[in-house]
Amino acid sequence: MLQTQSNLMINDNSGAKIAKCIKVLGGFQRKYAYLGNTVVVAVQKIKSKNKYRSKVKKGEVLRALIIKTKFRSVRKDGFLFKFSTNSGVLVNKQEKPLATRITGPITREMKKKKLMKLASLSSGFL
């Protein structure tokens, strides 16, 4: 569960490291975002290794798709899971990822929400 002013780690190779949530998309006065929701973020930190080759710059405003949250999630079969960090993947307006690789696995809920491009770029499913 993310809200405005929440920090999230970026789990792709776009060059961003940490981003701050500016706005939760998906409805009038929506306060919280869960797994699979889109938020507007501002890039706070970039990876210093590829500072000049990165696709994003510090302070840039982009959209991110949430792939991990600290808030617990429950599947229909009763399986309960949560992660240690809030994480996201930078995407464009058509929900296509900016990066060419996603580090770490993503949840099966992404596959059900028709985000097959993300599923093919990730290392596996949880």
Query: Tell me, what amino acid is at 59?
Result: G
pLDDT digits (tens, 9 = 90+) for 47-76: 877 777 788 999 999 999 999 999 999 988
Query: Tell me, what amino acid is at 57?
Result: K
Q: Residue 69: CB partners within 8 Å, gap ≥ 6?
A: 1, 2, 34, 35, 82, 83, 86
Tell whether pTM > 0.85: yes
Task: Using the predicted structure, report yes or no on whether residue 33 has a pLDDT greater than 90.
Answer: yes
Residue ranges of the domains in the chain?
7-121
* pLDDT number for residue 89: 94
Q: Which alpha helices (H) appear in the chain, and where do they start and end?
A: 108-112, 116-121
Please choose, from the candidates 28, 112, 20, the residue with its C-alpha nearest in 3D space to the C-alpha of residue 73: 112
* Beta strands, E only, 69-108: 73-74, 80-81, 87-91
Q: Between 113 and 11, name the one with better pLDDT.
A: 11
Please choose, from the candidates 14, 9, 41, 13, the residue with its C-alpha nearest in 3D space to the C-alpha of residue 25: 41
Mean local confidence (pLDDT), 99-106: 88
Please choose, from the candidates 34, 11, 46, 24, the residue with its C-alpha nearest in 3D space to the C-alpha of residue 118: 11
pLDDT category of residue 106 using cuts at 50, 70 and 90: confident
Topology classification of domain 7-121: Ribosomal Protein L14 (2.40.150)
pLDDT category of residue 114 using cuts at 50, 70 and 90: low
Q: What's the mean per-residue pLDDT of the chain?
A: 89
